[in-house]
Amino acid sequence: MHKVDLVSHGLLGSMIAGLSFGKKYRLLGYVATIVGSVAHDFDIITFLKGPKAFYKYHREITHSLLGTVVLGLLISIGVRLFTPVHDWATVLAMVGAGLLSHLAMDILTPWGLPLFYPFKSKKYSLDLIWFFDPVVISGLVAGVYLGYQVPENSAFSYLASFAVVISYLAYRVRQKRKARKIVLEELGPDKGAAVFVLPSAVSPFLWDVIVKERNRYIHFCVDTRRKEILSKEEFCSGAFHRCVKSSRDSDYVDIFLKRSRFPFYNVTRKADQTYTVEWSDVHLANLGGVHGVVVQLDGNGEIIEEKLQIKKPVRRKKKSGAV
């Protein structure tokens, strides 16, 4: 998924360069802009230390405004030192265009961006597309391919590609509103519950609508094409237990709760007097990937074992009905 994500960022950077810097600066314009467009994801190197490190550091400081400024300066210094272009404004513009295009794409996805990190941990997201969207990446691939095949009309190809992607995003905004309306009609009069509408995998017609009511969540899978609710599930944390507090001493849980938007937990006691605290996220539990943490504790609340819950992203389809 992340490799595809890098490809989409690179394709977007390539088209931006072709429309602005490519004709005058040729290869340099493309390289500087494309490097800027993928630079935020250099934190993928943390995966070498395992999924825990990647899950902790990916989309943190590198995806903030402060991190963007630092990356921009570092890359621009490198470009200025090792190329014949010594105009700071031009170099910063090329690199900056790529960097901003990366943030623009990432903020469309549900993981969110900590724009004001490390001063504020709040993450911002438009919740319009999943991390890999076939329509978006197909539009970008088509634009770059046509621009390469017919270079005299490359600007037209790039602009047409942008128009297709923007139109598609506008269509998704309409579908998102429709999904929200379908669920609100199901719920009846508004009781002040918070309603979140998020993309469900890759289909433009499937949406996850999560309603938060005090200590429980109601998850709806909505098909806007059929105008119906495919499934309805309730998620609620179990009774509070001292082991829940103890489990939060786990590094995995600490990382997970900083990432999770809709967390809940369950506690089970085994015959050998040990406890299992399972932390999950409502949205991720229905999509796969890293969706929670399991912590094993002894009778005194000391952590014995901890591990991330990871599964393949498989959409569970079923008829409407609470669980």
Structural domain contains residue 195: yes
Looking at this protein, which amino acid is placed at residue 17? A
Residue 214 placed within a domain? yes
**Assigned domain for 151 exists:** no
Residues 237-266, mean pLDDT to the nearest whole number: 88
Residue 160: is its pLDDT beyond 90? yes
Instruction: Assign 162 a pLDDT band (cuts: 50, 70, 90).
Output: very high
pLDDT tens sequence across 79-98: 888 877 778 888 899 999 99
Q: Are residues 118 and 3 in the same domain?
A: yes
Q: Is pLDDT at 121 greater than 50 in this prediction?
A: yes
pLDDT digits (tens, 9 = 90+) for 165-215: 999 999 999 999 999 999 999 887 766 689 999 998 778 899 999 999 877
What is the tally of structural domains in the chain?
3
Higher pLDDT, 40 or 22: 40
Does 157 map to a domain?
no
Q: Which of 111, 126, 141 is the last residue of a domain?
A: 126
Say whether both 204 and 273 belong to one domain: no
Domain that holds residue 262: 238-311
**With pLDDT > 70 as the criterion, what percentage of the chain qualifies?**
91
3-state SS class at 173: helix
Q: Residue 164: pLDDT band by 50, 70, 90 thresholds?
A: very high
User: pLDDT band at residue 312, thresholds of 50, 70 and 90?
Assistant: low
Is the model's pLDDT at 287 over the cut of 70? Answer: no
Cis status, amide bond into 118, omega within 30 of 0: yes
Collapsing DSSP to helix, strand or coil, 249 comes out as: coil
Q: What is the pTM of this model?
A: 0.84
- Final residue before a domain boundary, out of 92, 126, 160: 126
Mean pLDDT value of segment 245-259: 87
Residue 242 lies in a domain: yes
pLDDT tens-place string over residues 257-275: 888 889 999 999 888 889 9
Sheet hosting strand 303-311, strand order edge to edge? 263-269, 275-281, 289-297, 303-311
What is the reported pLDDT for 184? Answer: 92
Same structural domain for residues 228 and 248? no
Residues 10 and 94 in one domain: yes
Q: How confident is the model at residue 1 (pLDDT cuts 50, 70, 90)?
A: very low
CA distance 187 to 230: 15
